[in-house]
Structure 1
Amino acid sequence: MELGGVMGGFYRISEWVMRLAYVNLLWILFTLAGLILFGAAPATAAMFQVIRKWVMGKEVPVFPTFWKVYRSEFITVNFLWFILVVIGLILFVDYLFFGTLEGFASKLLQFGSISIFLMYLITLMYIFPVFVHYDLKTLQFIKYAFILGITHPLQTLMMAVGGVAVCFVIVNFPGLLPFFSGSVLGFLWMWLAYQAFCQSDTVFKKKSNAFNQNETSV
């Protein structure tokens, strides 16, 4: 029997709190199990896969789903994350180097490096949602995450604002760190990214249908 009214709303909120706390604890434990350096990326991918199922309205066994993704994608997602870390380090070193130069060219190069870094951050926000949603090659994940980010500015802006808001709350209430630090942000980003996925798929289908109709008429 499903509860309604205030009690029903309270029950559903409590259920989601428990879900997010549980998957967040798994995320932390499996990150530590991989010695952080090798565990963070696969644990994050596993968390996003579980949350993706929830966003799509599907009920899944949390731990088996989490463990399956963590184990099967361990090498792939670590390799992808390694590439992104290297890119980030290169951008950071470039920014520091341009800062040692003088004149207008230095300012211009620094501005350019900051612009590229913002694009890099956009890619990072979408990379895990894209990784768990699409079956692509390693470099295609990066490319598609970037394209989605710049073609859906509203979702991207909301993801950025949400990220800042979650960080602000966690910094001011560190007791929430073990329970909601990653899962709440993951849910927000996955939900927004999924809206972008649906919009992109709709546009693609319309173009595909239009192309097929033109081919048929010819």
Structure 2
Amino acid sequence: MNESSFIHKNMAFGRCIYNLFSLQLFILFYSLKGFIIFGFFPAVAATFQVMYRWMVYREYDIVISKQFSIFYAENFWKANKIGWLLTGSALLLAGDLMISKQMIQSPIIHTVLVIVFIIFLLLGAYIFPVFVRYDYHSLFVYFKQSFFIGISSLPQSIAIFILGALLYKVFHWIPFVALFFGAPLLIGGISWFAFQGILKAEALKVAALDKKEEKRG
């Protein structure tokens, strides 16, 4: 490895660390700007948008602050609706799981609730990547697309859950990583696999349409 290559790689690594830390600060600032309750989900969605630009379009030189603030403002209420709808449903399911385990104690009901809860975790992983990729008028379509993409991209979906478990361990062992880079690391990891799943689903859809056209011809 020559000296210029070594310097270039070090500069790229330093820029990556700086960008991740910047995103951590933006998430915190814009969450507080919306009094956390209204600011958190738009800030998360804006972070996914930045990751989308980096990973899908390779736009590494975008101005993060500008991209973040524009997407945050333009999608403020839509991101809140999606985020709180998902969170509310997940909390209800978590409550049902606790009641089922402690009071009903039916293995069948408990298993069904666990499966439904896992599906909601899957929706949670894909919903914001789908949100930044597509522009739908109906919130239901975002959830439907997230479900179908998550199911049709099982390797990526499993990888997301494994990544979440690994990052949980890392954050537990090295708290300062979570403090300075936690949110963008998690969102970046989810984005990497989720966007792969989305592009895979799109390719399968195109292939199916091409096959249908061939049969017609």
What's the TM-score once normalised by structure 2's chain length? Answer: 0.91
Alignment of 1:52-91 (within 5 A): 52-56=52-56, 57-58=58-59, 59-91=61-93
**Amino acid aligned to 1:73:** N
Q: Which moved more, 1:16-25 or 1:205-214?
A: 205-214
- Contact 2:152 / 2:201 at 8 angstroms: preserved in 1? no
1:197 aligns with 2:198: yes
- CA distance in 2 between counterparts of 1:204 and 1:161 reads 27
Q: 1:181 is paired with a residue of what secondary structure? A: helix
Partner deviation per Cα, 1:130-162 (whole Å, 9 max, x = no partner): 111111221111111111112111111111111
Task: Say if 2:153 and 2:201, in contact at 8 Å, map to a contact too.
Answer: no
Q: CA deviation at 1:97?
A: 2.7
**Structure 2 runs not aligned, ≥5 long:** none
Q: Show the 5 A alignment for 1:163-202.
A: 163-202=164-203
Aligned residue in 1 for 2:211: 210
- Give, in whole Å, the separation in 2 of the partners of 1:90 and 1:181: 27
What is the aligned partner in structure 1 of residue 162 from structure 2?
161
Percent identical among aligned pairs is 23
Distance 2:110 2:207 in 1: 41
TM alignment of 1:12-27, pairs within 5 A: 12-27=12-27
**Aligned-partner Cα distance in 1 for 2:114–2:139:** 25
CA positional deviation for 1:170: 1.8
Deviation, structure 1 residue 4: 4.2
State how 1:14-53 maps to structure 2 within 5 Å.
14-53=14-53
> 1 CA distance for matches of 2:165 and 2:98?
24
CA positional deviation for 1:108: 1.1
169-178 or 112-121: which moved more? Answer: 169-178
**Secondary structure, aligned partner of 1:35:** coil
- Segments of structure 1 that go 5 or more residues without pairing to the other structure are none
Q: Alignment RMSD, CA only? A: 1.5
State whether structure 2 residue 118 is matched by structure 1 residue 101. no
How far off its partner does 1:92 sit?
1.8
**1:14-46: CA deviation from partner (whole Å, max 9, x where unpaired):** 111111111121011111221211111000000
8 Å contact from structure 2 (residues 153, 200) kept in 1:
no
Classify 1:108/1:175 alpha carbon distance in 2 versus 1 (closer, same or farther; 3 Å). same
